[in-house]
């Protein structure tokens, strides 16, 4: 591993301090509440009942039922976090966001290994990444770290087996990385390495799903694979209902076309993964603000101007929507289930953020110069 520059180390310490302050002093978003409610429901009524019925929230909205669509491996992780709360007295919300903070800091180091210390330093100090990792309380930073580690295993270490295990862990956290499978397959050298990668990824998913998957395999698989993201605001093309009906196949087709196009230009796996995520965010008919964490560590492949524009607009949008959900500053509990008036500013910055991502995708795919494969 390269020697870490002092400027990057200082940036890591700053971002770690800010994330830990947010995790210690705030509750986070509804997602933290959802996860803790899932653990309580599964412990009381069983895994099958959780996937069938969803869970009543343990606080704030006790009559609200949140569906469960996360992979069963997450129940093991959430139960472990719940046990930490019981043993230490420190709340679930802190421990889980400590995990997402560690994942974020790990991602910074991986960006440094895949690119430069300057790119990693900018990512470390990106306000959107800090807010999503330290405040939000969803598992996306964990997935991002696993994906970056998988890319690193392929690009820098030529270890497709390890990459397959890491990708399988990412799929065990949420299933959205499935749309990256074509990029991984085309980024590998031979059919043998592709079989190793795919087989180990699948085996990892199966092993991590135990024992919860045994409760009702058909119900759990269909529920997890059938999940569709809700739209928390008018994001991009989702404002047109006619697009929402066709958005999923359009998005997946566009990602496939972009990956094949970039592979013909001998683009690196890092480039194909980052571009796939960018295309997804532009065309997706469903959206959660935490999804923006996916693109942030890959922005270095698009060049300094795009990276600056994406970091600036995503940071402003994330800060505004958390402030809106929290009912103002200071933040404590960002309650997206509570109805409030005056959301026009949220819609405006959501549109601005989406527009910057769309322009970035067109500019990069049409006139950009992709990073060349190391293979």
Q: How many Cβ atoms are within 10 Å of 61's Cβ, its own excluded?
A: 16
Determine which helix (DSSP H) or strand (DSSP E) holds 8, and give its type and residue range: helix 6-25
* Confidence (pLDDT) at 366: 82
What Rg value do the Cα atoms of the chain yield, rounded?
Answer: 20
Residue 226 binned pLDDT confidence (cut-offs 50, 70, 90): confident
Q: Is residue 1 part of a domain?
A: no
* CA separation, residue 84 to residues 38, 87, 89, 239 (Å): 16, 5, 8, 42
Q: Is residue 100 part of a domain?
A: yes
Q: How far apart are the first and last CA of the chain?
A: 20
Residue 185 binned pLDDT confidence (cut-offs 50, 70, 90): very high
Q: How far apart are CA 124 and CA 102, in angstroms?
A: 12
Residue 234 binned pLDDT confidence (cut-offs 50, 70, 90): confident
Q: Is residue 375 part of a domain?
A: no
* CA separation, residue 280 to residues 7, 35, 226 (Å): 33, 25, 18
Span 219-230, mean pLDDT? 85
* Confidence (pLDDT) at 1: 57
How many independent structural domains does the chain possess? 1
DSSP count for the chain of H helices, then E strands: 17, 4
* Confidence (pLDDT) at 232: 62
Q: How far apart are CA 299 and CA 319, in angstroms?
A: 19
Span 277-304, mean pLDDT? 95
Q: Is residue 220 part of a domain?
A: yes
Q: Is residue 372 part of a domain?
A: no
Q: Is residue 48 part of a domain?
A: yes
Q: How far apart are CA 9 and CA 30, in angstroms?
A: 32
Residue 313 binned pLDDT confidence (cut-offs 50, 70, 90): very high
Residues facing 231 on adjacent strands? 287
Residue 340 binned pLDDT confidence (cut-offs 50, 70, 90): low
pLDDT tens-place string over residues 355-365: 999 999 999 88
Residue 2 binned pLDDT confidence (cut-offs 50, 70, 90): low
Q: How far apart are CA 46 and CA 171, in angstroms?
A: 23
Closest CA to 279 of 300, 264, 294, 263: 294
* Confidence (pLDDT) at 152: 97
Q: How far apart are CA 49 and CA 36, in angstroms?
A: 16
Q: Are 144 and 178 in contact (CB under 8 A)?
A: no
Closest CA to 66 of 103, 92, 93, 41: 41
Please state, for a pLDDT cut of 90, what percent of the chain lies above it: 84
Domain that holds residue 317: 6-367
Span 200-204, mean pLDDT? 98
Residue 275 binned pLDDT confidence (cut-offs 50, 70, 90): very high
Q: Is residue 285 part of a domain?
A: yes
């Amino acid at each position: 591993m390269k020697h870490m520059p002092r400027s990057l180390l200082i940036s890591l310490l700053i971002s770690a301090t800010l994330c830990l302050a947010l995790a210690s002093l705030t509750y986070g978003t509804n997602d933290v509440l959802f996860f803790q409610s899932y653990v309580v429901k599964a412990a009381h009524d069983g895994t099958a009942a959780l996937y069938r019925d969803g869970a009543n929230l343990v606080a704030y909205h006790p009559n609200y039922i949140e569906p469960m669509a996360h992979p069963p491996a997450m129940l093991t992780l959430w139960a472990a976090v719940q046990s930490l709360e019981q043993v230490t007295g420190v709340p679930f919300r802190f421990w889980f966001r400590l995990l997402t903070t560690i994942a974020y800091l790990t991602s910074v180091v991986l960006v440094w290994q895949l690119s430069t210390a300057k790119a990693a330093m900018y990512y470390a100090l990106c306000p959107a990444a800090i807010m999503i990792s330290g405040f939000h309380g969803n598992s996306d930073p964990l997935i991002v770290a696993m994906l970056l580690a998988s890319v690193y295993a392929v690009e820098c270490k030529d270890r497709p087996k390890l990459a397959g295990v890491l990708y399988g862990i990412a799929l065990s956290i949420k299933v959205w990385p499935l749309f990256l499978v074509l990029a991984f397959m085309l980024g590998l050298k031979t059919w043998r390495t592709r079989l190793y990668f795919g087989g180990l990824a699948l085996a990892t998913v199966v092993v991590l799903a135990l024992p919860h998957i045994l409760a009702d395999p058909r119900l759990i698989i269909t529920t997890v694979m059938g999940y569709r993201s809700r739209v928390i605001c008018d994001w991009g093309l989702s404002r047109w209902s006619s697009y929402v009906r066709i958005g999923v196949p359009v998005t997946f087709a566009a990602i496939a076309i972009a990956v094949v196009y970039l592979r013909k230009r001998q683009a690196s796996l890092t480039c194909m993964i980052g571009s796939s995520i960018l295309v997804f965010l532009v065309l997706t008919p469903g959206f959660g603000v935490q999804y923006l964490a996916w693109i942030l560590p890959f922005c270095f492949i698009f060049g300094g101007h795009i990276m600056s524009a994406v970091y600036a607009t995503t940071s402003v949008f994330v800060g505004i929507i958390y402030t809106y959900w929290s009912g103002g500053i200071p933040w404590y509990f960002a309650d997206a289930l509570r109805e409030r008036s005056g959301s026009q500013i949220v819609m405006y910055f959501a549109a601005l953020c989406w527009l910057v991502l769309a322009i970035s995708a067109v500019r990069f795919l049409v006139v950009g110069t992709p990073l060349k494969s190391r293979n």
